[in-house]
Structure 1
Amino acid sequence: MDIENYLKLKFPRLELVPSIYYQWEIGIHFSLGGDIYQLTETGELNLERFKLVYKQITTLFDELFQNDDELLLVTNLYKDKTVAARKLKVYQSFLKCKKDLYRIKVKTYPYPFESDDAEQLEMQQFSVPCKREDLIISGLLKAASHEDFPLTPKFGKTLNSYPDVFIVNMTKDIIFFIYDDRGCEIIANQRDLLSPLYEKYYDWVEEVDRKRIEKGLGVKG
């Protein structure tokens, strides 16, 4: 099943762009990095923060994705209509089997954000079916958190726009999105898939988000 038909069936009315947590009732917004600031007192990158971020996103991913789950790796690329898309390092770098590159589907949509130049811009959405074992998970998760920093691995930019990467678990009906080093959004079709995750990693959720999350999950704080 392609991503468009899957979303119509499982997540109707959802637009697969950042802030999926605010579009869907059942979801969690996790804050990453704790209280560690991105830079040290001397202005250098604080690698201790990123070590914590890597640990958090890997932990969350491992809780939700098993080896036999059917996945879709979806990438949104935002670009000028007149400029040809460059090769997406999302797939070249993080798909283990290069033959899978020939299975990538792409569809073009109107630019989804408010902008004075919106008419000149577009969103190209790439997707490929895969399983966990087909992906270089550690590198993929790290690259998603490196958007604003000169760290590797990296997805690469096109016209100053960093790709958004969503990992869709079609077996469990879960969508996992790391927007950068500050946080990740997870939505699902069933409350019981996320309720244990919220309770287990309660301290990773900002107080401002808890009331909304608890209402969606049907749990008490």
Structure 2
Amino acid sequence: MKIMEYMEERFQNLEFIPSIYNQWGTGIHFCLGENIYQLKANEELNLKMFRVVYEQTSIIFNELFEQNDDIFLVTNMYKHKKKEKLKVYQPFLKCKNHLNQIMVKTYPYPFEINKAEEYEMQQFSLLCKPRDLRVTELLKAASNEDFPQKPKFGGYSIDYPDVFFVNITKDIIFFIYDDRGCEVIALDFKRIRSLYEKYHDWVEEYKCM
């Protein structure tokens, strides 16, 4: 199965761009970091805030994904058209043989900027299981978008990559947009109701159409 075949069947008309929460009728928008500022008074990084964010994203992921679930790992890389093909997954795969299974498709650059025609979006997708991935590092890299924290997604030439975890066993999509928050959407709210009830204090808003 390819990612777009699955999306056409389950999440019709949804685009893998921020924000998936605003595109879908059933989901949860979480606020991360418990209102702790990213910087200290002396302008140093507040590592406590990042530890809280890492813990929260890990908890949410583990509530949504089991090690044997079938998932698509989908990554958008935003790049200049003349730049060579970007390497995105190597540090986060436990088995390098999965590199040969990655699908790549190129799309027009999806955001409004000057000279947008000079850029493009490469979308990488890999059908795998959570146990095949270094999930902790992936979650941290997604959270570290705006700050010089490691791990980071490398190779980008314009915008930081967007990474989506698509659970095709449970029909759930999880997206961390940066250290401030993350989004979960599902075909049916009952699939994420327990997540909403357990971590209601983290919820910014939700929809259960």
* Corresponding residue of 2:40: 40
Please give the root-mean-square deviation of Cα atoms over the aligned residues, in Å: 1.1
Paired residue type of 1:22: N
Task: Show the 5 A alignment for 1:183-198.
Answer: 183-198=181-196
CA distance in 1, matches of 2:157, 2:135: 26
- Whether 1:130 and 2:128 are equivalent positions in the alignment is yes
* Conservation of the 8 A alpha-carbon contact between 1:188 and 1:194: yes
Matched position secondary structure for 1:126:
strand
* Corresponding residue of 2:208: 217
1:36-74 Cα deviation digits (max 9, x unpaired):
100011110000001100110000001010112101111
Partner residue of 1:172 out of 165, 170, 173: 170
Q: TM-score scaled to structure 1, two decimals?
A: 0.92
Q: Flag the structure with more relative contact order, 1 or 2, with Cα contacts below 8 A and sequence separation at least 6.
A: 2
* Corresponding residue of 1:59: 59
* Corresponding residue of 2:107: 109
Q: TM-score scaled to structure 2, two decimals?
A: 0.97
Q: Greater CA deviation, 76-85 or 124-133?
A: 76-85
| Unmatched runs of 5 consecutive residues or more in structure 2 | none
* Conservation of the 8 A alpha-carbon contact between 1:67 and 1:131: yes
1:136-181 Cα deviation digits (max 9, x unpaired):
1111100110011111111124213211111110000111110110
Matched position secondary structure for 1:161:
coil
Matched position secondary structure for 1:29:
strand
* Corresponding residue of 2:5: 5
Partner residue of 1:153 out of 151, 155, 175: 151
| Unmatched runs of 5 consecutive residues or more in structure 1 | none
* Conservation of the 8 A alpha-carbon contact between 2:86 and 2:155: no
Cα 1:160/1:112, change in 2 over 3 Å: closer
CA distance in 1, matches of 2:113, 2:159: 13
1:82-139 Cα deviation digits (max 9, x unpaired):
2223321xx1001100010000000011111112222111111001111011001111
CA distance in 2, matches of 1:37, 1:157: 28
After the TM superposition, which parts of structure 1 deviate over 4 Å for at least 4 consecutive aligned residues? none
CA distance in 2, matches of 1:10, 1:28: 18
CA distance in 1, matches of 2:131, 2:36: 32
Q: Which has the higher strand share?
A: 2
Paired residue type of 1:112: P
Aligned length: 209
